[in-house]
Structures are given as structure tokens and as C-alpha cells.
A = this chain, B = another copy of it.
Amino acid sequence: MKAVKIGICGLGTVGAGTFNLLSANRDAINAHANRDIQVTRVGARRDNSACDLSNTEVLRDIFAVADSDIDVLVELIGGTTTALDLVLRAIENGKHVVTANKALIAEHGNEIFAAARRKRVQVAYEAAVAGGIPIIKTLREGLAANHVEWLAGIINGTGNFILTEMRDKGRDFADVLAEAQALGYAEADPTFDVEGIDAAHKLVILASLAFGMPLRFDAVYTEGISAIEPTDVIYAEELGYRIKHLGIARKREQGVELRVHPTLVPENRLIAQVDGVMNAVMVKGDAVGPTLHYGAGAGAGPTASAVVADIIDVARALETPPDQCVQALGVVDDAMADLPVLPIEEVETACYLRASVLDKPGVLSAIAQIISKHGISVEAIIQKEPAPGQDHVPLIMLTNRSSEQNLRSAQREIEALESVEGRLISIRVEALNG
């Protein structure tokens, strides 16, 4: 077997997991790659006691790894500044690249892939989305015969853990977030996870693969879960739905919808039952119909599983001409479609609305009139009895599918009614059935 020299940059959780998996499952890995995969260099600011580095040359300067006589550079340092320089330098040096860095690919993938094409090297990034679930390979190869109509994914484990706890235990957002931080599921600064930026990075990658379009991180609409209240989790349940934080990409005639937001999903969909830190991605192809791909979205083992799968693919095809290899975004360059991403106002969804309204005759009919005037119809209503001493009651409505613009106009008019207190809560609804 030919030897393939690997340089791993970054020796945190994922770096150590990758280093150790390559060693623990070495025989199976080499048998799949048909190559003798050797980690000849590690670039890390400090050693990691989880790794036995006695037989590996460790360099403190990661750029020295990119300049050394390796075949494949594995970028696991994260971030979009040094990581970008490192990856571009490796490519410039003719090294193939494997990365787990979703932010890097989502924000700089177009540039990175163009550089790789020029230098005839491969860039693989399975671990960037949904950890151990081979969703990149599934979209790019397994479902390559399909026109993908839409995809929807739980692609941030922290957010899903928080929503699961809120539902199971009736706890509120801030309370669960604090626990998730204590457990190490959420960062000290949780913005990336709970405000949907991490999910947006991943969604952009999935959408490019699904629709054969360049990466458009600039165009994704992102809404987090920090505004979700336990009461909405309960009302959603009464209506037969669960609230999930989904990344959704949908192809329409006019363009592509690209959005991350809390979403009501019918409780009998498999994806509604994906709980805790687990990830799942639904893909609807025109030939295959709906599919779902489920697994751990983070952690040393699952992420290393994806990184090493990439290393195997790259190592096996080290001498394969680029036109015989799978393209980074699935399709060859001149087949890329620069599809317009629709502004959020043009997105179409059903909607869950909650208002606090005066408990007196005529209020419901006034609201129903406004909704109807905007061409929206109501599928279900829950109106609660007032609590003792209260003159306002919650009114919950489920609308049918309509444009965001119409929904927002109706919402503003309803909020302007005297009988309506404060702002409306609105959460989008997706049936995910066709």
C-alpha cells in the first residue's frame, strides 16, 4: 500500500478525536482507503494529553505544516481568519485539504474551491455539517440524480437540546441555556448557536449542494430561538406540533428560500421526534421523495468519523485527475446556477400567531377580517378563558400558507387594534410533507 502523509492542524477536541481515531481504527481505515495513512505532522500551539504524540512530529507553527512534505492538510483550528490563510497556503503548496470548519466553507468556500481547482487539489468538508451524518456525501453523490425540492434540518445540537428541555420540562429559555452552558453543550457566548448563525453556516453549504449554486452566506435569513416562550411550546403541542429550530432551503420558480428560524412541525413527522443534541436533515428529491438522515451533530467521535471519512476519500484519490473526482459542490463549475435568493418578505409559510386580546365580543371577528383581507385563511384557533381578574386572554391561530409580506401586513394591522395588547408572537409552520 502506498503511504499517504497527513498533517493535522489543531489539537482540540476534534483534532485529538481525529488523531486518535486514525490510530484506533487504523486497519479498517487503511483497508477502505487502500492506502497506508500516516499522520506525519501535527501543528498545535500545545500538546493534548489525550493524544500519544511520541511518534509524531509536532510543530508549533501550523503554517510550517502546510509547507512540509505532507499530502493532505487537515484544518481543525476553526475560525475564519488564520484558518483561511492556512487552507489557502496549503492549496497554494499543492496539498489536498480536509476541514471541519463550517464558518470557513460557508463564508469563504467559493474562493477556496476556486483556488483548489486551479491547483488541481481536493477540498473535503463532510464534518462541517451535522457531524457524523454523511449528509454532504448523501446530497452530493447519493441523491445526485434528483432535483432537490427542499431540505430542512435540525443542524444545531445546542438549540435542539434547549428546545427539547423546554418542552419536556416546561422550563424557560434562559434557565435551560444556563444548564447547557454548565454541561458544555453551549459556549460562554451562545450567540452562534442560539441566534442561528451556526445553523445558517451549515444551511448555506447544504443549499449549495442541493441546488448546485454558489455559497450565499450573505443571503440567508436567520432568526434564533431566544424569543421562544414555554407557553408557545405548550400551545404548539395542543395544535399537534412541536417547535424545532430548522434550517430550511426550498427551490421555487422565482428563486431559492434560505432561512433559519423556529418552526412548528407536525408532531408525527420523524424530524419532530429528534430530541436532545441530535441532528437530522430531511431532503426531498423529485425522484427519491422524502428522506431523513439522523445522527450526532457534534462531539469528538462523530466529528472525527466525518473528518476521517474525508481523509479516506482524499487519500484513495490522491493521483486521480480532478475531472474524475467528485466536485467540491457536486457539480462542475459551468453548471453552477447563480440562483437568486428570495428576500424573506417573499418567503411562503403557514404561520402560528399568538395575541393577547380583550375578552369581549367582536374581537375575534375583527382579527379574522384583517387576516382574510390579506388573502390568508385560518386553519385552527384556540381561545382561552380569562384567568381570574384578567380582562385579556390569549388567542392562538394557525394560518394557511401565504407570503411573509401578507402575514406581516396583517400582523401590523392586528397589533394596531385597540382590543389587542402588545405585539403578536408569530412562528412559521412547515408541514414537511411534499
Contacts from A to B (Cβ < 8 Å): 17, 21, 25, 27-34, 126, 131-134, 137-138, 140-147, 212, 270, 273-274, 285-296, 299, 301-302, 304-309, 311-313, 316-320, 323-327, 330-332, 335
Contacts and interface: CB of A to CB of B under 8 A. Distances in A.
B305 A287 contact: yes
Can you list the 6 inter-chain pairs with the closest CB atoms, starting with the nearest?
A134-B142, A31-B335, A145-B308, A132-B288, A291-B295, A31-B331
Contact of A324 (B27, B140, B311, B319): B319
In this complex, which of A32, A287, A305 has the most chain B Cβ atoms within 10 angstroms of its Cβ?
A287
Contact of A29 (B30, B144, B323): B144
A133 B294 CA distance: 12
A312 B126 CA distance: 20
Contact of A138 (B134, B144, B296): B134
A285 B312 contact: no
Given A292-B294, A324-B320, A309 B143 contact: yes
Contact of A132 (B21, B273, B291, B326): B291
Nearest to A336: B31
Given A28-B212, A324-B317, A145 B289 contact: no
Contact of A309 (B30, B145, B296, B301): B145
A182 B145 CA distance: 31
Given A304-B287, A324-B320, A330 B296 contact: no
Nearest to A311: B145
Given A25-B147, A34-B332, A290 B301 contact: no
Contacts of A138: 134, 137-138, 142
Contacts of A17: 287
A205 to B, nearest CB: 16
A288 B294 CA distance: 11
Contacts of A326: 316
